[in-house]
Structure 1
Amino acid sequence: MKRTIIENELYFNFTRSSGAGGQHVNKVSTRVELRFNVSSSSGLSDSEKQLIFHKLRNRINNDDEFIVTSQASRSQFKNKESATERFFSLIESALKPQKKRKPTHPSRQSVVKRLERKHQKSELKQLRRKPDL
């Protein structure tokens, strides 16, 4: 992944933000929508594009655009920075290789403890029952 190339391929769209803010919200476009076309990017290799399509498929629309929005701040600049940071953190986490899981077994002591707790709980519930007459 070439971050400098990708930064040049980002497209920002600014709209009015929702929520609190009074008159400021009604007149200033502070909500930032970051769009990035994954398939036409020259900063990603083909294997990286496939990983992104697979892992971030819920955020990618039919035009192969990866979309991130931010409207937390009343400042357009801060929202733009936070959207960019979130975009790169999502991309980096998608490209990070996943660790292989080592199959493990519970220890003998943990099994014994679990069975003892089950037995104690069972006894407690039996004591709550009405006695047989």
Structure 2
Amino acid sequence: MIYVTDDIRIDEKEIEESFVTASGPGGQNVNKVASAVQLRFNVAANWSIPWDVKMRLSRLAGRRMTTDGVLVIHAQRFRDQSRNRADALDRLVALIRQAVEPPKPRIATRPTKGSVRRRLETKSHRSAVKRTRSSPVDEE
């Protein structure tokens, strides 16, 4: 059992790991040994993650979340399989912990009088510059 928070737990049976050959440095070893880890976790089927956390998690995961609600994490940072397994699991736990934190509500603010004045002065200055570029009007 993996304890993410006090309320959220993940059973190891819910995590599916597959090992593939990694790209990048490693010499001949990279072609022979499947050291990269592809971790798959079905978020939609997990019972301990609340619905609102699942929604935030899917938004945070982006392309790593499939349409079926499966989160896929690919770890190949290290040359050995055990460190990549630990890295993938750490990234999964960190992502869920980040989704647990509710976003801070936005507090509506108003621009200061000085910033409004500067914006309007800049607009009028720019307008005057453009007005001088125009061709003169014949007045008869």
Q: Pick the TM interval, shorter chain.
A: 0.7 to 0.9
Q: What is the match of residue 32 of structure 1?
A: 37
8 A Cα contact 2:19 2:36, kept in partner: yes
Q: What is the distance in 2 between the residues matched to 1:104 and 1:113?
A: 18
Q: What is the match of residue 118 of structure 2?
A: 113
Percent of aligned pairs sharing the same letter: 35
- State the Cα RMSD in Å: 2.9
How many angstroms does 1:63 deviate by?
A: 4.2
Map 1:21-60 → 2, pairs under 5 A: 21-42=26-47, 44-45=48-49, 48=50, 50-55=51-56, 56=58, 58=62, 59-60=64-65
Structure 1: where are the runs of 5+ without partners?
A: none
Out of 2, 6, 9, the position equivalent to 2:10 is 6
Q: What is the distance in 2 between the residues matched to 1:60 and 1:27?
A: 29
Q: What is the match of residue 66 of structure 1?
A: 71
Q: What is the distance in 2 between the residues matched to 1:18 and 1:91?
A: 27
Q: What is the match of residue 96 of structure 2?
A: 91
How many angstroms does 1:124 deviate by?
A: 5.5
8 A Cα contact 2:4 2:96, kept in partner: no
TM value normalised by structure 1: 0.73
Structure 2: where are the runs of 5+ without partners?
A: none
Q: Which structure's CA Rg is the greater one?
A: 2
Out of 20, 27, 36, the position equivalent to 2:25 is 20
Number of residues of Structure 1 aligned to a counterpart in Structure 2: 128
Q: Answer yes or no: is 1:103 the counterpart of 2:108.
A: yes
TM value normalised by structure 2: 0.70
How many angstroms does 1:125 deviate by?
A: 5.8
Q: What is the distance in 1 between the residues matched to 2:129 and 2:35?
A: 59
